[in-house]
Amino acid sequence: MSDWDETREAFKQATEWFVRILLVATGRYDEPGLGEWSIRDLVGHTSRALVTVESYLANPAASAKVSSPVEYFTLILASSGDPVTVAQRGRDAGAALGDNPAVSVEEVANRVLDTVMCAQANALVTTPVGGMRLADYLPTRTFELTVHTCDLACALGHALEVPQLPAAQSLSIISGLTIEVGNAGLLLLSTTGRQQLPFGFTVV
């Protein structure tokens, strides 16, 4: 399997896991999801990881200025918008999914997967922090899908059965970000059982 095939397969597995978890959410969309979000809001926010692939591909960049998923997240985190605006965007996305979010998300997922499976690794996309190759941008969407489907599974009391490729790709991004912010030692010690991470520790 080529790197590009593996990248697409990881995205596909993360997308399919998200769609499967949504079957458990039926009738529970008004329950608490994450922070101030309901489950519907969380689903709406997560679905944007699919929608942005489609919309950014439709707006090709002139050149690639961001070279990796870690650089993308570093730049995004440095330019994070107003939390109130971000939260409202999730609520709006959830409301836009209509009466049957599971069906709406599945339709979007199928359409986006078809697009990605036909796309070239070097296709250029326009992101909020600059142009990127699709092969470098897609793992950021796999990461978002994987982490927020974990959030969704927790909110629904469902098992955290993260598919292997999305798990590996997401953990690779986490390790890269941890190194970037200089906290590799803390992560190494905690994940080998030597000490606990400080309360609230995060790299995103």
Q: What is the pLDDT of residue 1?
A: 73
Q: 150, 84 in Cβ contact below 8 A?
A: no
In order of their start, the domains of the chain are 3-163 (1.20.120.450)
Q: What is the pLDDT of residue 81?
A: 65
Q: What is the pLDDT of residue 86?
A: 79
Q: What is the pLDDT of residue 78?
A: 87
Residue 57 has pLDDT above 80, yes or no: yes
**How far is 137 from 64, CA to CA, in rounded Å?**
10
Percentage of the chain exceeding pLDDT 70: 99
Q: What is the pLDDT of residue 184?
A: 94
Residue 190 has pLDDT above 80, yes or no: yes
Tens-place pLDDT, residues 1-11: 789 999 999 99
Mean pLDDT, the chain, rounded, equals 94
Tens-place pLDDT, residues 66-116: 999 999 999 998 887 667 777 888 899 999 999 899 999 999 999 999 999
**How far is 146 from 166, CA to CA, in rounded Å?**
6
Q: What is the pLDDT of residue 89?
A: 86
Q: What is the pLDDT of residue 204?
A: 85
Q: Assign 3-class secondary structure to the chain.
A: CCHHHHHHHHHHHHHHHHHHHHHHHCCCCCCEEECCEEHHHHHHHHHHHHHHHHHHHCCCCCCCCCCCHHHHHHHHHHCCCCHHHHHHHHHHHHHHCCCCHHHHHHHHHHHHHHHHHHCCCCCEEEECCEEEEHHHHHHHHHHHHHHHHHHHHHHHCCCCCCCHHHHHHHHHHHHHHHHHCCCHHHHHHHHCCCCCCCCCCCCC
- Position 162 confidence tier, pLDDT thresholds 50, 70, 90: very high
